[in-house]
Structure 1
Amino acid sequence: MDLEERRHLPLFSIGTVQKLTGLSARQIRYYEEQGLISPKRSEGKQRQFSFVDVERLMTIRQWMENGESLHTIRKRMKENVLSKTVRDLSDEEVYQQIQRELLEGRSASAQSLFLGDLSRFYRKR
């Protein structure tokens, strides 16, 4: 099982996700109803969240705190799914994108394609 498959394993209960994200159970269920996350269900129908779900919820929370509307967040999530992921980019493409972001002067609150993904710089060569 590779790292990406492990990131999608349903491991966390809603209580654990509440502690990790700072969101209430009601907020988490609402974001699920809105189609922003899709946690797996256990045989007993309990939600089980993956690392990917938790990261997505933390991103949603950050955007909401920055004043984004739910409509805008839904649109941004859809764009992120349709765009290439960081893992699909070559090192040269990553370098060029980071350079563009720095030259544009994106603020720290702006969502970068590379936010939190430094693993590519620690690869075994």
Structure 2
Amino acid sequence: MSEKQLRRSLAVLPMSTVIALTDLTARQIRYYETQELVHPKRNDGNRRRYSLNDVDRLLEIKDGLASGMDFATMRKLTAKKEAVAEKKKVSDTHARRVLEAEMQQLAGMRPAHPSLRQHL
């Protein structure tokens, strides 16, 4: 994950800032949370904190509802986007593990995989 993506996923924005950015009411934002369309983090004082990704999602929800979509459709679209993001995250993690193992092998810290030794 790039630094830009990491920064966009940091939950640092309070509700008041999100209200100003999205032109939604606090009640609407909390309702979207109960509908499992957005998942804000909580700070030590149990106050909601939103990321820039959450703000983007809220704007997408607002646009979708304005165009006539219902909550069931919005949930399906949100779940599909989350599944794609999770799949990318898993493959990112797998790629990092493979690269780490190869680097350790090249540095002599780990023996070659048995299938590779047959070809040497």
Q: Which runs of 5+ in 2 are unaligned?
A: 90-120
Larger RCO: 1 or 2 (CA < 8 Å, sep 6+):
2
Q: Which residue in the other structure is 1:37 paired with?
A: 38
How far is 1:82 from its partner?
A: 2.2
Q: Does 1:56 align with 2:57?
A: yes
TM-score (norm. length: structure 1)? 0.64
Q: Which residue in the other structure is 2:95 paired with?
A: none
TM-score (norm. length: structure 2)? 0.66
Distance 2:84 2:3 in 1: 22
* SS state at 2:33 partner: helix
1:76 to 1:41, Cα distance in 2 relative to 1, 3 A = same
Aligned length: 87
Q: Which runs of 5+ in 1 are unaligned?
A: 89-125
Distance 2:3 2:29 in 1: 28
Distance 2:83 2:47 in 1: 29
Q: Tell me the alpha carbon deviations over residues 26-64 of structure 1, each in whole angstroms, 9 at most, x when there is no partner.
A: 010011111111111111111010000000000000000
The residue identity in structure 1 corresponding to 2:16 is: G
Distance 1:84 1:18 in 2: 26
Q: Does 1:12 align with 2:13?
A: yes
Q: Which residue in the other structure is 1:21 paired with?
A: 22
Q: Does 1:83 align with 2:84?
A: yes
The residue identity in structure 2 corresponding to 1:44 is: G
Residue identity (%): 38
